[in-house]
Structure 1
């Protein structure tokens, strides 16, 4: 009854056993004896074919490992295919010997000290994984049959020995698996750590894009940041990591595999952040930093956040998905979320610290830079996380954005208080542009470069800010000062535009108060002209501010400047022109009254000299305004003086009398007028000497 195939022999054994059980109660003792004889023959044949032949041993006392393991593997595969629920999980002694022999060969490979590192001999790695997969299946099959069998009552004592043999096999397989998994753990860790380091440091590999996956290539547009070779694994390394991870998880070592992956990748990510210059700071640390240091940290934070969102996190997710592919997607998603969540919390904690730090005007622009980074970058990460993580991420970032937005509104609105509190009683020398005007307008110029962002901040966070602020009437009570908006319709103005208009109105009021500090009314008008012109030029030079203030406001401002100019002319030069009045210079008979004429020349000389002496120290820094003033003065004074001089100069006696009373020629007057508003004290008398 010999069979050429081992599987047929197993089937024959199983059929013989079933037949024996079926006819156990038969009356014919002869048939039972015959069945026992057939069973013995089958077992002898099975043992003879399963064990190595004596002739083979005689030829080679050290058979080839791969050949023996390969043959034993084939035998185990046939055994697994024949091990079904119908055979009740019995493991006959001869089968146990076959499995023991196979386990000897596997254990020898697993425990081999001379085994090469992973990936150096790919064929050996593949055979190793196949062996582990096979013994895993063997264990699973034995345990499943055992579990069902234990639910039934076993009364036959001859089965106890086979049960013990099966348990012994399971225990031994477990020991071998544990050794194999320990080896795989170490190789998994080495591949994650050393392969990345070696690949990144090898110029030949780093410079060759072939064999790299998409996530390894630097992106051409990564928020303007220098692209990096991240994470730095080749396709072969990722493939090996995937094979090891799959075997460890299938073998029940999911926790160990994930722990190694988490620890290694977290260290790699933190190392990458350190290279960008990002450091962990607690909330207290951030709030205690000097602003100069904090500015640098903010710039680093922005670079780091963008790099994480556009490079590190997408590539990290691709790596996790590649290593834990197939039916382990839920594992890769969880690992990725856990890896990146900690870093995101660190980054968002920094934002919280910034928002809670002491507020001052110069911080506004950095606050807005951070706000824009969160606004523009966070949406790009939505597709990286599963739903639960996305919701958590949005909640965290929205909280950070809200606090930052509230802080930005508070800082901008505090400009209003700064203007109100500037109550200095000392006028600016020469009627020059006041420092408050320069500061406010330059501040607003830079603020309006963030106009769109501030519009969004005010629209989304102003209601929250109103509750916190002590000065909330600014939005509701816009009637305290006169306002000239761009469309004469306050209902169409955004909260930010309304606040900007209010700041401008407050600045106007403050300047008007400061103008009254000058005792000279003419100088007061020069002061208002200087500051008004400066404000108007800044607004015209900034499309963003001009869009808010509008043409109506600019036209009104220009009209105000013309009025200040007229007031100045009236206060200064109209009085001087009074000296050139023809009235009263002749009597009823038409005869010229020389003493009155002499007094008119004398008064003109003294007044002009005083004006020149005084107003040459006044300051008009805007060249166009300075030129306009000089031209307008010349156009009024010089023609009048030339006419007066031409008509009455001959009345005076030539010589000494003429020199005494006629000190200026028209050209002199023009030259002296051109010296006005330079901020340099001069004297016409000294110049004539």
Structure 2
């Protein structure tokens, strides 16, 4: 019983405590072992990482060393290979050897040893260099090229030529074919580069605001493998003053560096025997550029048929454009082209002359086609002045054209040179223009003769025919020197064939005039054009005399002649050219005619009025007859009223003539009327009788006279009421 009551829990607690401690110790041991193992693993990992890093580092070092060895190897190889300069020197040395053997070639049993490797390296380097530029990877710039291509191409050409005499040898033949193939490739490359320089720079020059030119096209390759207005004319004379040259026009066609490159390429191609290719590319490029320049000036190619069909308003503008383009071509473009050709083909003057001659002659002949077409158009008065403009520009620029082709002409037979053909063509066109001008001017006579209208001009004003003829003559006389030259040439020649071609007659009145001048010519006779001018003036005078007879009122007839005569004199005095031609004697005669018309008017209008103021029949046996006096006043009042009513509607547009007429009338009528009033007004009863018969005071009369000839009819009766 006592055993059963022993304290079991104490025993149990003792066991549990030791057990926990043991477990704790075991746990600590486990943790220690785990930490040790973890640390071992960690250390092992670190060791592995370090080993990997070491291996990687060793590998990188090995790769770097390998690269360094390869670079060193490349440098060694590069240093071992000869440079292009060295190879070129070897080629030059070999060329020297071959050149020394040319004179004794027949005595040589076999050619000297061929440096095949150097030749192959030389052409391979050139091929690679050309391929670089052709691919567009690099732009050819001779100033910065390691290999001077032009010198290399020249050396290649010499090498090919030097190998040819020994081509019977298989090795030499192979080398010759190899260098010849690369030489052809090189020349094709230069050909393309030549055109690109010419084309790109010329297009860049023309791409300015307002330019109408289009891009030029690359021509086919020229390499050897492919070588198988009757109306009133009052417009101003065309302004023929030389156009101001812009900076762009005065500058060289190409920049100096480009011109130098062109010269180098041309020299290389010509030296290599590619003359045709070089010349054709250059000609096509400059032809395109020149005509693009004409297009930018607004001058387009127009066929003769189109000119014939063109309305005058349009053709007039085309002529003005053509004149500007022709002058620019002769004075600016051709000198610039001449300079360019001479520089690019320096050392080859014959080539430069030939190419420039072809370009210039072709361009001028094309421009002359338009001038000839204008000369062939249907004649009409308004065309005279533009035809004379063309004539003058051809005449004035002929010395410059002669100078342009002086070199070419001196090197050929005078009778067969293109320059002589050009001069003959220009002379023929001038002759046609001159014939047309003579015919048109002489047709003015026919225009005056056929103007036979039966309707008088209202108010006796200046007739439209007078205005037309005088304005036409005024502008024509601005060309007086040119017209004198043309008429003299016509006078010396036979009847122009062009009159027959048009189915017309010789200029009206001109044949007989010219024959009379030839038979009776002396130092005092007027020149042909002056004589023709005076003939026109006489015809106009006769026509106006005839038209004046259409007026029933003789006073108005004289007003009409005064109006037209004064207009003619005013035009003559206002234009020094026509005044100089007609001379003082003619002007004095016309001034005398004007004074006579004035006297005739005064007599026709105012003589009856002045008759009212005469004393005759008023005095009867020493007394004044009131009935006669009253009748005189009544007659004067009625006549003056009628004159005022009628002549205030007449027109005198020239202010000076209008003033002269009014002053002369007042000077005659007003003093006479004032005197008459002073002598006889006292015989009328004051008041109603005076008001009935004396309707005008002297001052009123003068005011009414000042209303005459202003084209505004008015009634004095309305004004007095």
TM-score, normalised with respect to structure 2: 0.77
User: Residue 91 of structure 1 contacts residue 163 of structure 1 at CA under 8 Å; is this kept in 2?
Assistant: no
Q: Does 1:312 align with 2:333?
A: yes
Q: 1:167 to 1:549 in 2, by over 3 A?
A: same
Q: 1:59 to 1:510 in 2, by over 3 A?
A: closer
Q: 1:595 to 1:321 in 2, by over 3 A?
A: same
Where does residue 29 of structure 1 map in the other structure?
none
> CA shift at 1:455, angstroms?
1.4
Where does residue 674 of structure 2 map in the other structure?
642
Where does residue 45 of structure 2 map in the other structure?
none
Q: Does 1:355 align with 2:375?
A: yes
Q: Deviations over 1:398-448 (max 9, x none)?
A: 122111111111111111111111100000111111111111111111111
TM-score, normalised with respect to structure 1: 0.81
Where does residue 603 of structure 1 map in the other structure?
635
Partner Cα distance (2:203, 2:618) in 1: 103
Q: Deviations over 1:250-303 (max 9, x none)?
A: 211111111111111111111111111111100011111111111211111111
User: Residue 283 of structure 1 contacts residue 350 of structure 1 at CA under 8 Å; is this kept in 2?
Assistant: yes
> CA shift at 1:108, angstroms?
3.2
Where does residue 404 of structure 2 map in the other structure?
384
Q: Does 1:545 align with 2:578?
A: yes
Greater shift in the superposed pair: 572-581 or 163-172: 163-172
> CA shift at 1:319, angstroms?
0.5
The number of residues matched between the two structures is: 595
Partner Cα distance (1:489, 1:440) in 2: 29
Q: 1:570 to 1:121 in 2, by over 3 A?
A: closer
Q: Does 1:676 align with 2:695?
A: no
Partner Cα distance (1:506, 1:197) in 2: 58
- SS of residue paired to 1:447: helix
Candidates 391, 407, 413, aligned match of 2:436: 407
Partner Cα distance (2:192, 2:513) in 1: 71
Q: Does 1:173 align with 2:179?
A: yes
Where does residue 25 of structure 1 map in the other structure?
none
- SS of residue paired to 2:665: helix
Partner Cα distance (1:564, 1:93) in 2: 113
> CA shift at 1:90, angstroms?
4.6
Where does residue 421 of structure 1 map in the other structure?
450
Where does residue 236 of structure 1 map in the other structure?
257
Q: Where does 1:7-86 land on structure 2 (aligned, <5 Å)?
A: 60=78, 63-86=81-104
Where does residue 501 of structure 1 map in the other structure?
534
Q: Does 1:109 align with 2:98?
A: no
Q: 1:650 to 1:222 in 2, by over 3 A?
A: closer
Q: Does 1:516 align with 2:549?
A: yes
Higher relative contact order (CA 8 A, sep 6+): 2
Gaps of 5+ in 1: 1-54, 147-161, 204-220
Partner Cα distance (1:288, 1:516) in 2: 43
- SS of residue paired to 1:682: coil
Partner Cα distance (2:76, 2:610) in 1: 138
Q: 1:355 to 1:464 in 2, by over 3 A?
A: farther
> CA shift at 1:639, angstroms?
1.4
Partner Cα distance (2:107, 2:128) in 1: 29
- SS of residue paired to 2:623: coil
Partner Cα distance (1:75, 1:182) in 2: 27
Q: 1:577 to 1:686 in 2, by over 3 A?
A: same
Candidates 474, 482, 490, aligned match of 2:509: 474
User: Residue 87 of structure 2 contacts residue 118 of structure 2 at CA under 8 Å; is this kept in 1?
Assistant: no
Candidates 374, 387, 394, aligned match of 2:423: 394
Q: 1:139 to 1:616 in 2, by over 3 A?
A: same
- SS of residue paired to 2:685: coil
Greater shift in the superposed pair: 427-436 or 386-395: 386-395
Q: 1:303 to 1:89 in 2, by over 3 A?
A: farther
Partner Cα distance (1:202, 1:79) in 2: 56
> CA shift at 1:130, angstroms?
2.6
Greater shift in the superposed pair: 420-429 or 457-466: 457-466
- SS of residue paired to 1:83: helix
Q: 1:198 to 1:665 in 2, by over 3 A?
A: closer
User: Residue 612 of structure 1 contacts residue 676 of structure 1 at CA under 8 Å; is this kept in 2?
Assistant: yes
User: Residue 409 of structure 1 contacts residue 465 of structure 1 at CA under 8 Å; is this kept in 2?
Assistant: no
Candidates 108, 120, 127, aligned match of 2:141: 120
Q: Where does 1:609-648 land on structure 2 (aligned, <5 Å)?
A: 609-648=641-680
> CA shift at 1:134, angstroms?
2.8
Q: Deviations over 1:188-214 (max 9, x none)?
A: 1122122444577799xxxxxxxxxxx
User: Residue 634 of structure 1 contacts residue 673 of structure 1 at CA under 8 Å; is this kept in 2?
Assistant: yes
- SS of residue paired to 1:293: helix
Q: 1:62 to 1:114 in 2, by over 3 A?
A: farther
Where does residue 3 of structure 1 map in the other structure?
none
Q: Deviations over 1:538-574 (max 9, x none)?
A: 1111111111101111111111111111111111101
User: Residue 466 of structure 1 contacts residue 472 of structure 1 at CA under 8 Å; is this kept in 2?
Assistant: no
> CA shift at 1:311, angstroms?
1.0
> CA shift at 1:630, angstroms?
1.0
Larger radius of gyration: 2
User: Residue 442 of structure 2 contacts residue 507 of structure 2 at CA under 8 Å; is this kept in 1?
Assistant: no
Partner Cα distance (2:293, 2:255) in 1: 18
Q: Does 1:453 align with 2:482?
A: yes
User: Residue 89 of structure 1 contacts residue 145 of structure 1 at CA under 8 Å; is this kept in 2?
Assistant: no
Q: 1:348 to 1:683 in 2, by over 3 A?
A: same
Candidates 285, 296, 302, aligned match of 1:264: 285
CA RMSD of aligned residues (A): 2.9
Greater shift in the superposed pair: 654-663 or 519-528: 654-663
Q: 1:478 to 1:456 in 2, by over 3 A?
A: closer
Q: 1:610 to 1:319 in 2, by over 3 A?
A: same
